[in-house]
Structure 1
Amino acid sequence: MISEALQRIAPSRTTAMTDRAARLRAEGRDIISLSVGEPDFATPRHVLDAAKAALDAGQTKYTPVGGTLRLKEAASLHFRRDLGIAVPASQVTVSAGGKQAIFHALLATVSQGEEVLVPAPWWVSYPEIVRFAGGKVVPIRTGAANRFRFSAGQLESAIGPHTQWLMLNSPGNPTGAVYPPEMLLALAEVLRRHPRVMVLSDDIYAPLDYTGARHASLAALCPDLADRILTVSGVSKSHAMTGFRIGVAAGPEWLIKAMERLQSHSSGNPCSISQAAAVAAFEGPQDFLAEWREIFRARRDLVVEAVNAIPGLSCPVPDGAFYCFVDATPLMERFGDDEALAMHLLEHGVAIVAASAFGGANGFRISFAASEDRLREALRRIAGAVA
């Protein structure tokens, strides 16, 4: 019998679409997958060399549950250098991807009926994790008019007596929304009036900010709130290490210990070889990130221009990450809903994810973490499919 907790959640629709596309390719169909958020770049050589060296050195045994001290110190360097957050290794934990860190944080703190504020559109796993923990999702609606960012006033209105967490994702998935310092400072003023509310700041896409400004993180801007903020980061997006499954999180020591207590009974330690590779990622050369960012920026501009040239489709220019959130409202009378549109596009050889998977409607998300040639061909197919 399936548990009540599991019955409260649905499978990830992003992975479902990616798996569906993979099955069609295995059947011989030419499918371009723009459904998954995975950089197409090769993992940097110095990272691969570190993984091989760890294997050769026999580093194949258990490590401490929350990660090796070496990796915690390297992650501490990352938080300080790249996010501006001064945090000791004792306030850092390592998990099998950022998703696991978020899962453990909410499972360790959310009790039955407590509320979590989740800006919509949202990353698909946020609401499902909240529901699995027994919490209630309270959406904060955003749209293209406000660049998919919620205001301090919206936050104030959403907070209630049972609010436990605010989810904050910048740059955001699926919209690419970036919160500048002035908006974060305004949110902080609201949070100071509500000392019970904690913030989960998902900064995994921090290296992919196209605004030209330094990434702004709430814990760095407002150190007086740091004991209420869990900042999640990692190496998957920044260093093309999705398969290594390493996430890092920094926050108050009591929360880090609680997450590690839970991890001791769920997965145990993250992969020892992946941890060694992540040390090299954090401590090694970072100069390639600027080049990658410019490549992604060019791809973004290509996709936005092409989408806005297709009758019935439109999308704003995302400020970060590698996603475009496309509005297809004029096509809904023809297709009925965005899931039907997604399946129609799949039949025409392009895998995307319907906006409804992210708490949105009448559109879809495109990942532009693919080569320019593949993006051009995919957009040609999309244009033909909706013509």
Structure 2
Amino acid sequence: MPADAPKARTNRVSHRVGAIAESATLAVDAKAKALKAAGRPVIGFGAGEPDFPTPDYIVEEAAKAVFDPKNHRYSPAGGLPELKTAIVEKTMRDSGYEIEPAQVIVTNGGKQAVFESFATLLDPGDEVLVPTPFWTTYPEAIRLAGGVPVEVFAGPEQGYLVTTDQLEAAMTERTKVLLFVSPSNPTGAVYSEEETRRIGQWAAAKGLWVVSDEIYEHLTYDGVPFTSIATAAPELGDRMVIVNGVAKTYAMTGWRVGWMIGPKDVIKGATNLQSHLTSNVSNVSQRAALAAVAGPLTAVEDMKKAFDRRRKAMVEGLNAIDGIECPTPHGAFYAYADVRNLLGREIAGVTPSTSAELATLILEQAEVAVVPGEAFGPSGYIRLSYALGDDDLAEGVRRLQDFLR
């Protein structure tokens, strides 16, 4: 090789992509399914995925769409016009928030909406306040967009709800965005209307953008209402971005349809990005989503009743275990249990020092899959999804009780 030849780069994968951690929730779910395939009777509390089929009327519309040649072609990168209009109407119906079709982009699931929101808003080094515990994808999406996630932790002692004092303490001159999630994945916490308004008004006074993930808006319990920060704090004006989708509400996780709502210039930028990234969402999936958002919420209410029943059973069962404290979640379909009192205790001949070690022990010896707190922030917690059948839930909780006694 000539002396002046350029030195070959040793890294085969870019630093940007190489630094991404895999989705911990999907990793746990994949491991549980692999063990099941190998003949192990694993109960999976890992994935946030309803066990119900997509409602029939939605599937029927998709079946019709398959045979319509217009759905065999490219469509606008930002979404079918009729679906965008339906999202406008649905947003007014559910949140009282008035928008126009030009303020909507339809995305390949909620994750793409999350990434495109941060990719469109952030410049390198911009900071995002991230209430913690957080959904595992948020920090990675922020970093991929060049931003810096700033964790603001709220533990079970305060119902996993951050305060404006905490946000104020975490803010710096680099802060540009506040992430707001209610109902929360992973904790199931729901901010009251007053708390939502207070946080929104604080963000507006500081000149921050707010990205609000509202994908669990229809899943609240005990009479606790969902409140959109966009309507609770109109002072935010055009510094408001909402991400949402059909996955959780309509049991449509595999259909991959989400959306992003924001000011027209932001949505135009996100649409330009998507035109190069993926182009349009599958037209058949968009037709199914149109049937979902424009249709009744009857099936949603039926699923919610089942989730509510399972929520109560899970919380009661977990709190019966010495060393576990599980606040009652008021939204989504997750229980976020405090297991700090189990750490350092010998269990089946092993003394776990982290919730990750505890989760591995539970999976390998009790054959129950849970997601450790490290996926969502600090160690010392585990997340369990109760979006699974009643019998499996009861069996999984019984195994935990037997194993951890």
* 1:276 match: 287
Q: Distance in 2 between matches of 1:108 and 1:90?
A: 16
Q: How big is the shift at 1:103?
A: 0.4
Aligned to 2:399: 381
CA shift at 1:157, angstroms?
2.0
**Correspondent of 2:361 among 334, 344, 357:** 344
Write the letter of the residue equivalent to 1:121.
P
- Is there any run of 5+ residues in structure 1 with no aligned partner, and where? none
* Correspondence 1:287 to 2:298: yes
Aligned residue in 2 for 1:85: 97
Name the CA distance, whole Å, in 2 between partners of 1:224 and 1:192.
6
SS state at 2:128 partner: strand
Q: 2:141 aligns with which of 129, 132, 150?
A: 129
Moved more, 127-136 or 31-40: 127-136
Residue 168 of structure 2 is aligned to residue 151 of structure 1: no
Q: CA deviation at 1:5?
A: 1.2
8 Å Cα contact 1:352-1:365 kept in structure 2 = yes
Aligned to 1:323: 334
* Cα distance, 1:226 vs structure 2: 3.4
- What are the within-5 Å matches in structure 2 for residues 55-134 of structure 1? 55-58=66-69, 59-134=71-146
Mapped to 2, the partners of 1:77 and 1:158 lie a distance apart of 37
CA contact (8 A) 1:93 1:256 kept: yes
1:1-387 to 2 correspondences below 5 Å = 1-58=12-69, 59-195=71-207, 197-333=208-344, 334-347=351-364, 348-387=366-405
- Quote how far apart the aligned CAs of 1:288 are: 2.2
What is the alpha-carbon distance in structure 2 between the residues aligned to residue 226 and residue 62 of structure 1? 34
Post-superposition offset of 1:225: 1.3
Task: Give the TM-score normalised by the residue count of structure 1.
Answer: 0.97
Superimposed CA distance per residue, residues 191-237 of structure 1 (whole angstroms, 9 cap, x where no aligned partner): 23211x11110000000011414320011222331311111111100
Q: What is the match of residue 9 of structure 2?
A: none
Q: Deviations over 1:283-308 (max 9, x none)?
A: 11212222221211111000000000
Deviation at 1:171, TM superposition (A): 0.2
Distance (Å, rounded) in 1 between the aligned partners of 2:204 and 2:237: 12
| Separation (CA, whole Å) in 2 of partners of 1:243 and 1:187 | 33
Kindly state the Cα deviation for residue 383 of structure 1 after the two structures are TM-superposed: 1.4
Q: Distance in 2 between matches of 1:92 and 1:149?
A: 29
Contact preservation (8 Å) 1:76, 1:87: yes
* DSSP 3-state at the match of 2:343: helix
Letter in 2 for 1:163: T
| SS class of match (1:383) | helix
What SS does structure 1 have at the residue aligned with 2:216?
Answer: coil
Partners of 2:201 and 2:236 within 8 A in 1: no
Query: How far apart, in 1, do the equivalents of 2:269 and 2:324 lie?
Result: 46
d(CA) in 2 for partners of 1:380, 1:127:
34
How large is the RMSD of aligned CA atoms in angstroms?
1.1
TM-score by length of 2: 0.93
Identity %: 39
Structure 1 window deviating more from structure 2 (356-365 vs 222-231): it is 222-231
Does the CA contact (< 8 Å) of 1:155 and 1:190 recur in 2? Answer: no
- Deviation string, structure 1 residues 259-278 (Cα, Å, up to 9, x no partner): 11111111111111000000
Unaligned runs of 5+ in 2: 1-11, 345-350
Deviates more, 1:167-176 or 1:124-133: 124-133
Q: Match for 1:185: what amino acid?
A: R
Residue 36 of structure 1 and its aligned partner are, at CA, apart by 0.3
242-251 or 285-294, which deviates more: 285-294
Question: Across the two proteins, how many residue pairs are aligned to each other?
Answer: 386
Structure with bigger gyration radius: 2
Q: Contact 1:51–1:273 (CA<8 Å) still a contact in 2?
A: yes
State whether residues 178 and 203 of structure 2, in contact with CA within 8 Å, keep that contact through their aligned partners in structure 1: no
Shift in Å at residue 168 of structure 1?
0.7
User: Quick one: distance in 2 between partners of 1:155 and 1:287?
Assistant: 38
Distance 2:104 2:399 in 1: 45
1:8 CA displacement: 2.7
Partner AA of 1:280 in structure 2: A
Shifted more, 123-132 versus 155-164: the winner is: 155-164
* 8 Å contact kept, 2:58–2:291: yes
Cα offsets for 1:138-177 (capped at 9, x unmatched): 1111011111011121122222111111111100000001
